[in-house]
Amino acid sequence: MNNTNSSARPTASKDGKPRPPASKDDLNASAHFSLRQVITRIIFALIASAMISTLKLDYIESYLYDVRVTLKAMLGLSNPTNTPIVMVKISNATVDQFKGFPGFQQHTNFLNQLKKGSPHFVIYEFRNKDGKIEDIDGTEAERLAFAKTAEQIKEFYVPTDKTELKAEAGKLKFDEPLENIKIFSGPKAPDMYLFAKDSVYRRMLINYQDQILLHANVAGFYNPEIAALKNIRGRFEFLDSSQVYIHYYKQGSFPTFNFEDVLEGKVDPAVFKDRLVIVGTDTGKSVREYVQTPYSREITSMASMELHANMFQTLIDNSAPLRLPPWVNILLTSLISVLTVHVVLTLKPSRGLLLLMATLLGLALVAIILYALFTIWIDLAHPFLAIFLCYYFFIPYRLIIENRKSWEYFQKNKLLKQVEELKTNFISMMSHDLKTPIARIQGMTEMILKDEVALSSLQREAVDTIRSSSDDLLKFINSILQYGRIESQGVELHRQSKDINQIIIDVIKKHEFLAKVKKIKIVKELETLFPVSVDPDLIRQAFSNLIENAIKYSGEESTVIVRTREEQNKVLIDVIDQGIGIPAVDLPNIFMKFFRSHNVKTSTIKGTGLGLYLAQYFVHLHRGEITVISNSDQGSHFTVHLPINQ
């Protein structure tokens, strides 16, 4: 047997009224897009990305790059392997010891110590407090002695930030007697007027007007591979120069000694053997000693000599960061724009936001991994901006579409309600107008039938049929009227404490005649019950509909059982018949208004399809429910559940 309860109605809302308009989720679920829509969206996204790509975002881009440089160092992934570089610093302690910056005499003594270790290169960032060689203390003889000592070192260079034009080669010279010391152009190039314009040192020059500069020249000795420009990783051309980005090594990566320790012979000269020795200052007395780096924009982020060390090492390792070409940036920005527009216009807002955040984080993660493991710099500023801008551009557009849809549904719903109202009013009006003529017909037939002699038996039978048909019609009209009232005004409950058994007995009595005609036995199995607070008229009608159905849809000489019982704060009323039953396919629909199962529609049993709808409506008003177990040809078992404490 199949079983259903009153809430198992798939096609109508509980009160039988039209359903509310579809929710936004329903709309999303059913959304499907035409090719035209898809193409329009892609075009919109591409236009947006083209606009975004033209924006100059060097500052943000560089900032995002700096984060990756710092992260790589923090992860311990930017240490030089086998560096030939050694640094010697003139520190605050040195200045204290010599009661000022070392003079030429001390520099000569220092060089003599260094010479013992026979370094290959000595890069001398000559400076006193003001950074000028001319101001270093010393007599003419002391200067000359220094120059002579420097000449004995294999390659001794003083780097300068100046760049000579090709025609000016050799013009950069010290005054006598230092004229033989080679000043080598090895400029430090901050992003002062270009790119990020934040004075951070990110780039270095390899050559200028085809003249090789200091760092490439020195690095070529340790790594001959880079002698050919084309072999230099990450090289790009800019304003008559070849450049690379500096690969920043973790701060403190290069072995460093104090000037005075070397001078006093406290450092074993062997540590300088064949090395590249950078001599510079780190006294904290002048900003000129320091540079700003990706690690920090502090003026004193790194000593200038350490920057030189990083520049040399970048080329020695040939490990300059490889910035992916602009077309990759444009492609990525376009893809991200298309994705964002699609997400904004299609997905639920919360899910869309989540997906975009995931894209953002995913992209950041890929960029970090690429830099940390392969020193590859992928531009992020434009793709990131694409996510934000496309999101904020297209959200209002989405809202307009959603609003338009809601408005359309609202209008449709309004129309449906109006039609439904019109229908109900029409039915009530018609039924009302029909009642009077029927009452008149009934009156007339009663009158005729009362006259014992006026009619022949054939005529009597005809008038009898007229009477029973008009009875059916009246019942039909009453149901419709009641339905109309419920739909337009609802029903008010007038509760009284009642014995349900008594109501059942009354209802059965009313149907006894009908049962007798079909020789149907009605068996009452009534337990003693607590009184229940109900509207007796409505509950009576609900039971009446169920018992009438049981008799109506049962064959002759069958039994109908009406049982009452109490269970867990509920009164249960069973109406059980042995009739035609309800086919499984119809079972979920029998409580719908005007529904009749197909096995009765073809029979002569009359009905409106409103009885169960009304019965259920009245029981629901009492916070109860009706369940049914039935199957074709196996009888039906309806149960009304009424809560005792309502």
Chain residues 566-605 in contact with ligand ADP, contact rule CB under 6 A = 577, 579-582, 590, 595-597, 600
Q: Which of 435, 549, 427, 439 is nearest to 480 (CA)?
A: 427
Closest CB 620 distance from ligand ADP, rounded Å: 15
How many CB atoms are located within 10 Å of the residue 124 CB?
22
Q: Is 607 in the site for ligand ADP (CB under 6 A)?
A: yes
The residue length of the chain stands at 646
Closest CB 410 distance from ligand ADP, rounded Å: 33
Q: Which of 271, 213, 227, 212 is nearest to 83 (CA)?
A: 271
Closest CB 3 distance from ligand ADP, rounded Å: 15
Identity of the residue, 137 or 574, whose beta carbon is nearer to ligand ADP in the bound complex:
574
Whether residue 533 contacts residue 630, with contact meaning beta carbons closer than 8 Å, is answered with: no
What is the DSSP secondary structure assignment for residue 16, as one 8-state letter? S
Whether residue 532 contacts residue 642, with contact meaning beta carbons closer than 8 Å, is answered with: yes
Identity of the residue, 86 or 522, whose beta carbon is nearer to ligand ADP in the bound complex:
522
Q: Is 277 in the site for ligand ADP (CB under 6 A)?
A: no
Identity of the residue, 140 or 633, whose beta carbon is nearer to ligand ADP in the bound complex:
633
The Cα–Cα gap between 516 and 513 comes to 5
Q: Is 549 in the site for ligand ADP (CB under 6 A)?
A: yes
Closest CB 512 distance from ligand ADP, rounded Å: 17
Closest CB 487 distance from ligand ADP, rounded Å: 16
Which is it for strands 182-185 and 155-160: parallel, antiparallel or unpaired?
Answer: parallel
533's tokens: 């607070």
Closest CB 460 distance from ligand ADP, rounded Å: 29
Which position has the token pair 């984080």?
A: 361
Identity of the residue, 236 or 476, whose beta carbon is nearer to ligand ADP in the bound complex:
476
The Cα–Cα gap between 17 and 126 comes to 94
Whether residue 241 contacts residue 207, with contact meaning beta carbons closer than 8 Å, is answered with: yes
Q: What is the dihedral of CA 179, 181, 182, 186, to 10 degrees?
A: -110
Q: Is 562 in the site for ligand ADP (CB under 6 A)?
A: no
What is the DSSP secondary structure assignment for residue 165, as one 8-state letter? -
Which residue in 121, 543, 553, 618 binds ligand ADP (CB under 6 A)?
553
Going from the C-alpha of 560 to that of each of 470, 632, 642, the distances in angstroms are 27, 17, 21
Per-residue contact flags (x/-) with ligand ADP for residues 492 to 531, judged by CB under 6 A = ----------------------------------------
Identity of the residue, 220 or 583, whose beta carbon is nearer to ligand ADP in the bound complex:
583
383's tokens: 């793709």
Whether residue 281 contacts residue 89, with contact meaning beta carbons closer than 8 Å, is answered with: yes
Identity of the residue, 158 or 612, whose beta carbon is nearer to ligand ADP in the bound complex:
612
Which residue in 131, 536, 609, 643 binds ligand ADP (CB under 6 A)?
609
The Cα–Cα gap between 429 and 432 comes to 5
Beta bridge partners, 211, equal 208
Closest CB 539 distance from ligand ADP, rounded Å: 16
Closest CB 597 distance from ligand ADP, rounded Å: 3
Which is it for strands 496-498 and 276-282: parallel, antiparallel or unpaired?
Answer: unpaired
Closest CB 602 distance from ligand ADP, rounded Å: 11
Identity of the residue, 106 or 578, whose beta carbon is nearer to ligand ADP in the bound complex:
578
Identity of the residue, 566 or 574, whose beta carbon is nearer to ligand ADP in the bound complex:
574
Q: What is the helix (H) or strand (E) element at residue 126, kind and residue range?
A: none
Please provide residue 51's backbone torsions phi and psi, each rounded to the nearest 5 degrees.
-65, -45
Which residue in 248, 394, 613, 617 binds ligand ADP (CB under 6 A)?
613
Q: Under rule CB under 6 A, how many of the chain's residues touch ligand ADP?
A: 22
The Cα–Cα gap between 93 and 283 comes to 8
Q: DSSP for 505-529, please give it.
A: HHHHHHHHHHHHHTT-EEEEEE---
Closest CB 499 distance from ligand ADP, rounded Å: 25
How many CB atoms are located within 10 Å of the residue 602 CB?
7
Identity of the residue, 378 or 575, whose beta carbon is nearer to ligand ADP in the bound complex:
575
Residues 6+ apart with CB under 8 A from 162: 172, 185, 187
Identity of the residue, 108 or 479, whose beta carbon is nearer to ligand ADP in the bound complex:
479
Q: Which of 82, 77, 101 is nearest to 91 (CA)?
A: 101
Q: Which of 319, 241, 251, 262 is nearest to 90 (CA)?
A: 262
Identity of the residue, 244 or 551, whose beta carbon is nearer to ligand ADP in the bound complex:
551
Q: Is 315 in the site for ligand ADP (CB under 6 A)?
A: no
The Cα–Cα gap between 79 and 252 comes to 10
Identity of the residue, 116 or 563, whose beta carbon is nearer to ligand ADP in the bound complex:
563
Chain residues 414-433 in contact with ligand ADP, contact rule CB under 6 A = none
Q: Is 321 in the site for ligand ADP (CB under 6 A)?
A: no
Closest CB 440 distance from ligand ADP, rounded Å: 25
Closest CB 612 distance from ligand ADP, rounded Å: 3
Beta bridge partners, 570, equal 567, 643
Closest CB 492 distance from ligand ADP, rounded Å: 23
Closest CB 587 distance from ligand ADP, rounded Å: 9
Closest CB 609 distance from ligand ADP, rounded Å: 5
275's tokens: 């090395």
Q: DSSP for 204-252, please give it.
A: EEEEETTEEPHHHHHHHHH-GGGGSGGGSTT-EEETTEEEEE--PPPTT
Identity of the residue, 314 or 597, whose beta carbon is nearer to ligand ADP in the bound complex:
597
Q: Is 545 in the site for ligand ADP (CB under 6 A)?
A: yes
Chain residues 624-643 in contact with ligand ADP, contact rule CB under 6 A = 636
Identity of the residue, 392 or 594, whose beta carbon is nearer to ligand ADP in the bound complex:
594
Q: Of the listed pieces 180-188, 347-355, 358-366, 548-556, which binds ligand ADP according to CB under 6 A?
A: 548-556
Sheet of 2-5: strand order equals 2-5, 625-630, 636-643, 570-576, 559-567, 521-526
Q: What is the helix (H) or strand (E) element at residue 637, kind and residue range?
A: strand 636-643
Q: Is 550 in the site for ligand ADP (CB under 6 A)?
A: yes
Identity of the residue, 187 or 609, whose beta carbon is nearer to ligand ADP in the bound complex:
609
Which residue in 532, 610, 619, 621 binds ligand ADP (CB under 6 A)?
610
Q: Of the listed pieces 94-102, 246-254, 359-367, 549-557, which binds ligand ADP according to CB under 6 A?
A: 549-557
Q: Is 611 in the site for ligand ADP (CB under 6 A)?
A: yes
Q: Of the listed pieces 348-356, 396-404, 412-420, 607-615, which binds ligand ADP according to CB under 6 A?
A: 607-615
Closest CB 488 distance from ligand ADP, rounded Å: 20
Burial grade of 116 (CB within 10 A; 0-12, 13-18, 19 or more): middle
Q: Is 4 in the site for ligand ADP (CB under 6 A)?
A: no
Binding site for ligand ADP (CB under 6 A): 545, 549-550, 553, 577, 579-582, 590, 595-597, 600, 607-613, 636
